[in-house]
Amino acid sequence: MKTGTWIGLVGMISLGCMAGSASADVIFTFGYTDLSGSFDGESTFTAEAVDLPGLRSAGDVTRLVDPAGSANFDDGFVSRSDHAGVAISIDVTDIGEASASGAGEFLLTDADGDRISGAISGLWSTPGLGALVFSGVLSEVTLIDTGIQDGTFDGVDGGEMLMDFSPASEPFEGAIVQLLLPLGAPGFFGAPFEGVSTLVSAEIVPTPGSAALLMLGGLAAWRRRR
Other C-beta atoms closer than 10 Å to the C-beta of 103 total 14
Examine the pLDDT at 222 and tell me if it is beyond 90.
Answer: no
β 44-48/85-93 pair status: antiparallel
Phi, psi torsion values for 205, nearest 5 degrees: -125, 155
Q: What average pLDDT does the structure give for the chain?
A: 82
Residue 15: predicted pLDDT: 35
Among 10-14, 121-125, 132-136, 151-155, the minimum mean pLDDT is found in: 10-14
> How confident is the model at residue 190, as a pLDDT?
82
Can you tell me the distance from the alpha carbon of 10 to that of 117, in angstroms, rounded to the nearest whole number? 23
Least confident of 31-35, 103-107, 147-151: 147-151
pLDDT tens sequence across 74-84: 999 999 999 99
For residues 24-46, give the mean pLDDT.
Answer: 91
Write a three-state SS string for 96-151: CCCEEEEEEEEEEECCCCCEEEEEEEEEEEEEECCEEEEEEEEEEEEEECCCCCCC
Confidence tier at 85 by pLDDT (50, 70, 90): very high
Say whether pLDDT at 16 is over 60: no
Under a CB-based contact definition with an 8 Å cutoff, are residues 188 and 100 in contact?
A: yes
Distance (Å, whole) CA 142 – CA 106: 11
Mean pLDDT within 196-208: 87
Residue 21 DSSP label: H
Give the DSSP letter of residue 84.
-
Bigger pLDDT: 98 vs 68: 68
User: For 34-38, 78-82, 129-133, which range has the lowest pLDDT when averaged over its residues?
Assistant: 129-133
User: Considering the entire predicted model, what is its pTM?
Assistant: 0.84
Among 59-63, 129-133, 144-148, the least confident range: 129-133
Residue range 16-28: average pLDDT?
57
